């Protein structure tokens, strides 16, 4: 295959990008930039070795002996995570803050003689270390006597008011879709509209998670990976949270013509369980396993929410911390040397005479636009051929997500194709790995698109072959 680039396109049109709905809100764009942050499952289950508590656990069972939220934040910061989301209330109903709307709280525990407040300590620690603070609040409550009645919706809304008023700003708020029986044997009819109005009134910029958003969605599995095709758009009409959510396949891939911008978040635990269990100390995911999760989440345009549960002391275990530090090291070693950064970027054809400098200027807010029919290809040409096995593509999402299908062409100096790679969606970030090849030119062709596709960056790397996504 010779001179592929030279015959792709014959004319150029102005480089602009027109918005086509849906498009992300400003706070969603900021959320996309977060990429990787920690989940913290902590509560009575930590001390009972359960995953789902029954709600009848005595409050005194919660008694961390060395709780240190600053230790959590130091580790998160050193790992390159940008925030922490904590389970303020799991299904057992135990509140990690002294809520006025429940008797099942830290106020009734032996910890700090009932004077402790985990949310206060963590929110302050996050501010100190420059991390975003997020809260998980399960609507299901296996302890509260009003669960299963209309009054409970007010209880839950008031709990949210407490959290936003006393511990804000809250960057992300997590609604679990679980809905089981309460202590009275009844299930709750959740007033989701009331809950959403409460958050929007108190904190309009907070990102809200659930199966169907409104702002970000569950990815459809707890394994930490998004679909190889991953649209940031989703249709929610006719669906509900929990049992009435779209199929897991749909949540994993999104809807190509979805009417709402609801990107995917990949939640996964560093351990087999979500809460700390001592018998899992030797079952912590390896740095290489975490890197693979990164490629299959952030590398497919989603965000990675990695659960790292504190132990019964209230500290992150040394095994978890070591895995996180080496995970950070792998990312730094893999992505520190962008081979394409100083090379020549241009539109095709014109034999490289029409430059496209925004493709590799290191600025995600600048972009070059590709048109169909018309100018559908861009390229990078190296001064000298390089061995590469990883290419990172970034789509400029302000105007929406538009690439439906793309081709990457790795060529030699004679414009002969040495490797062709095909893909579908790009999104915020697409990381493509492949067996090492020597290339003098990287060409990106948009084969199908919903509208003009804008690319903010093309990056190229040579990473450890053992880390390549299989």
Structural domain boundaries in the chain:
5-20+338-467, 35-335
Model pLDDT, residue 374: 61
Model pLDDT, residue 343: 87
* Tens of each residue's pLDDT in the chain, 470 residues: 444 443 333 223 333 445 678 999 999 999 999 999 999 999 999 999 999 999 999 999 999 999 999 999 999 999 999 999 999 999 999 999 999 999 999 999 999 999 999 999 999 999 999 999 999 999 999 999 999 999 999 999 999 999 999 999 999 999 998 999 999 999 999 999 999 999 999 999 999 999 999 999 999 999 999 999 999 999 999 999 999 999 999 999 999 999 999 999 999 999 999 999 999 999 999 999 999 999 999 999 999 999 999 999 999 999 999 999 999 999 999 999 999 998 888 877 544 457 889 999 999 999 998 876 666 789 899 999 999 999 999 999 999 999 999 999 999 999 899 999 999 999 999 999 999 999 999 999 999 999 999 999 999 999 999 999 76
DSSP state of 285: P
Find tokens 């985990």 and name the residue.
Answer: 118
Assign a CATH topology to domain 5-20+338-467. Jelly Rolls (2.60.120)
CA dist 318 → 7, 75, 170, 284, 322 (Å):
57, 10, 28, 10, 6
What is the Cα–Cα distance from 172 to 124, expressed in whole angstroms?
16
Tell whether domain 35-335 is in CATH 3.40.47.10: no
What is the Cα–Cα distance from 453 to 430, expressed in whole angstroms?
14
Find tokens 């669960």 and name the residue.
Answer: 147
Model pLDDT, residue 354: 78
Question: Using CA atoms in the order 190, 191, 194, 197, what is the torsion angle rounded to 10 degrees?
Answer: 70
């Amino acid at each position: 295959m010779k001179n592929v680039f030279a015959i792709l396109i014959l004319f150029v049109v102005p480089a602009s990008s027109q918005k086509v709905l849906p498009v992300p809100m400003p706070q969603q764009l900021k959320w996309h930039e977060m990429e990787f942050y920690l989940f913290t499952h902590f509560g009575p289950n930590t001390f009972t070795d359960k995953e789902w508590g029954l709600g009848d656990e005595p409050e005194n069972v919660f008694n961390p002996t060395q709780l240190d939220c600053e230790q959590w934040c130091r580790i998160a910061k050193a790992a390159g995570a940008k925030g922490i989301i904590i389970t303020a209330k799991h299904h057992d109903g135990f509140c990690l803050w002294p809520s006025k709307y429940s008797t099942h709280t830290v106020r009734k525990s032996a910890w700090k003689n009932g004077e402790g407040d985990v949310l206060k300590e963590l929110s302050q620690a996050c501010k100190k270390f420059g991390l975003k603070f997020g809260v998980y609040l399960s609507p299901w409550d296996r302890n509260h006597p009003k669960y299963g009645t209309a009054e409970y919706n007010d209880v839950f809304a008031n709990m949210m008011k407490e959290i936003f008023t006393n511990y804000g700003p809250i960057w992300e708020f997590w609604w679990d879709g679980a809905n089981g029986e309460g202590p009275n044997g009844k299930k709750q009819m959740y007033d989701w509209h009331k809950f959403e109005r409460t958050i929007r009134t108190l904190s309009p910029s907070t990102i809200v998670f659930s199966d169907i958003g409104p702002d970000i969605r569950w990815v459809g599995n707890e394994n930490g990976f998004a679909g190889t095709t991953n649209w940031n758009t989703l249709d929610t009409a006719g669906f509900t949270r929990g049992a009435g959510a779209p199929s897991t396949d749909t949540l994993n891939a999104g809807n190509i013509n979805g009417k709402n911008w609801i990107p995917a978040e990949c939640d996964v635990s560093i351990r087999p369980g979500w809460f700390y269990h001592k018998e899992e100390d030797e079952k912590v995911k390896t740095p290489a396993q975490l890197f693979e999760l990164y490629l299959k989440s952030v590398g497919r345009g989603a965000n990675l929410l990695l659960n790292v549960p504190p132990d019964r002391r209230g500290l992150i275990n040394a095994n978890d911390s070591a895995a996180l530090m080496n995970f950070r090291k792998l990312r730094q070693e893999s992505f520190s040397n962008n081979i394409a950064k100083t090379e020549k970027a241009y539109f095709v054809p014109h034999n490289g005479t029409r430059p496209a400098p925004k493709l590799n200027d290191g600025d995600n807010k600048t972009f070059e636009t590709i048109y169909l029919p018309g100018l559908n290809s861009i390229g990078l040409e190296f001064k000298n051929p390089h061995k590469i096995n990883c290419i990172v593509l970034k789509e400029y999402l302000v105007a929406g997500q538009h690439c439906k299908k793309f081709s990457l062409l790795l060529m030699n100096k004679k414009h002969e194709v040495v490797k062709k790679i095909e893909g579908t969606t790009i999104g915020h970030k697409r990381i493509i790995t492949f067996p090492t090849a020597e290339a003098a030119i990287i060409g990106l062709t948009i084969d199908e698109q919903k509208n003009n596709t804008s690319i903010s960056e093309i990056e190229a790397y040579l990473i450890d072959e053992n880390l390549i996504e299989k």
